[in-house]
Amino acid sequence: MAELNEINPEFHGFFAHLREGRVAFPHCNACGKLHWYPMKICPHCQSSDIDWKPMRGAGELWSWTVVRHPFSPAYNDKVPYVVAMVTFAEAPGIRLIANIEDVPLDSLKIGMSLELAQPNSNEAMPQVLFRPSKALKAA
Ligand SMILES: [Zn+2]
């Protein structure tokens, strides 16, 4: 398990929000744009006046792959697992790499609604883990 001091400082805000069950992206107060991944200066205007904008809406599945071969013995009991790119309507152009759990592989669908799977975490660097939105599952 990673310790906070092992994490690139630019990512501290991202994981702080994630620990509280939110995805947030760096937001530039000078030009108003979001960017990903986190940087000390805005890649759009070079301002260093950056804060974090939490996403309020659900994520959406942009694309994915299924990993079936473990890259190390530690993953022997984790395969197959899904590695996905998740987008947010409020953050056009940003694609977040994440895992998806609790979903039959043959039900994955581009555009499906996703929510964070772990609403709270005590880990310094929680896994970026989504699952299908409950509203969608109930439908
Ligand atoms: Zn900017």
pLDDT in tens, 103-132: 999 999 999 999 999 777 888 888 999 999
Neighbours of 9 (CB within 10 A): 10
Residues with Cβ–ion distance below 5 A, ligand 1: 28, 30-31, 42, 44-45, 47
DSSP string, 54-119: E--S-EEEEEEEEE-S-SSGGGTTT-SEEEEEEEETTSTT--EEEEE-SS-GGG--TT-EEEES-S
Percent of the chain at pLDDT > 70 equals: 94
Q: What are phi and psi of 130, to 5 degrees?
A: -115, 165
For residue 54, the CA-to-ligand 1 centroid distance in Å is 17
For residue 45, the CA-to-ligand 1 centroid distance in Å is 4
**pLDDT greater than 60 at residue 136:** no
- The size of the chain, in residues, is 139
Total structural domains in the chain? 1
Residue 98's pLDDT band, with cuts at 50, 70 and 90, is very high
pTM for this prediction? 0.88
For residue 39, the CA-to-ligand 1 centroid distance in Å is 11
Domain encompassing residue 51: 4-138
For residue 63, the CA-to-ligand 1 centroid distance in Å is 28
For residue 34, the CA-to-ligand 1 centroid distance in Å is 8
For residue 87, the CA-to-ligand 1 centroid distance in Å is 20
Q: What is the pLDDT of residues 30-85, one digit of tens each?
A: 999 999 999 999 999 999 999 999 999 899 999 999 999 998 999 899 999 999 99
